[in-house]
């Protein structure tokens, strides 16, 4: 069961998924990057099943267009000529990895809060004043902290939600 119809050999070169969508081969620079693949249904060969996957830093994977666009916006992939060693040693000429709560999935928000331990102000600022994003961040805070969210995060994000409702 292959996720692609043909394989290429060069990074960034497009390939084709089972549904005919263009795939891009990338190396993940972020700590983890959730993405989707397409697999053939085991009992119905004409049916395609989307499967969630997570690639870890340094893994080279083929991603669908939506994941490629999201990864590019977030600087989640290595740039041409860049290596993981350069990224982790700080010798890369690129900027630090970007995080955008508005573009992140709910799982990415939870992992960001768990793994990166952002301050209360960083979590509130990540909402960028958007009530919908603030509500998602609040739910992620509850999940990430084992149902024990920080009071400052609750107050700050509820204020953003209230302001956007007006």
pLDDT higher at 145 or 14: 145
- Put the strands of the sheet holding 22-27 in their side by side order: 14-16, 22-27, 60-63
Closest CA to 153 of 76, 101, 104, 96: 101
Spatial distance between the Cα atoms of 29 and 71, rounded to a whole number of angstroms = 10
Is 139 a residue whose pLDDT tops 90? yes
Choice between 82 and 146, residue whose per-residue pLDDT is larger: 146
In angstroms, the CA 22 to CA 60 distance is 16
Beta bridge partners of 15: 23
CB distance 76 to 97 below 8 Å:
yes
Q: What is the DSSP letter of 14?
A: E
- Helix (H), strand (E) at residue 37: strand 32-40
Residue scoring higher pLDDT (51 or 92): 51
pTM, rounded to two decimals: 0.49
């Amino acid at each position: 069961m292959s996720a692609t119809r043909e394989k290429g050999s060069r990074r960034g070169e497009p390939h084709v998924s089972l549904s005919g969508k263009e795939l891009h081969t990338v190396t993940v620079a972020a700590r983890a990057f959730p993405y989707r693949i397409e697999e053939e249904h085991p009992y119905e060969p004409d049916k395609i099943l989307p499967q969630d996957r997570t690639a870890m830093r340094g893994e080279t994977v083929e991603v669908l267009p939506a994941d490629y666009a999201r990864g590019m916006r977030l600087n989640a992939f290595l740039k041409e000529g860049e290596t993981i060693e350069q990224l982790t040693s700080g010798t890369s000429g690129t900027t630090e990895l970007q995080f955008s709560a508005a573009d992140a999935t709910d799982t990415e928000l939870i992992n960001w809060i768990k793994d990166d331990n952002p301050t209360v102000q960083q979590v509130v600022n990540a909402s960028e004043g958007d009530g919908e994003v603030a509500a998602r961040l609040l739910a992620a805070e509850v999940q990430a902290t084992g149902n024990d969210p920080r009071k400052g995060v609750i107050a700050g994000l509820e204020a953003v939600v209230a302001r956007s409702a007006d």
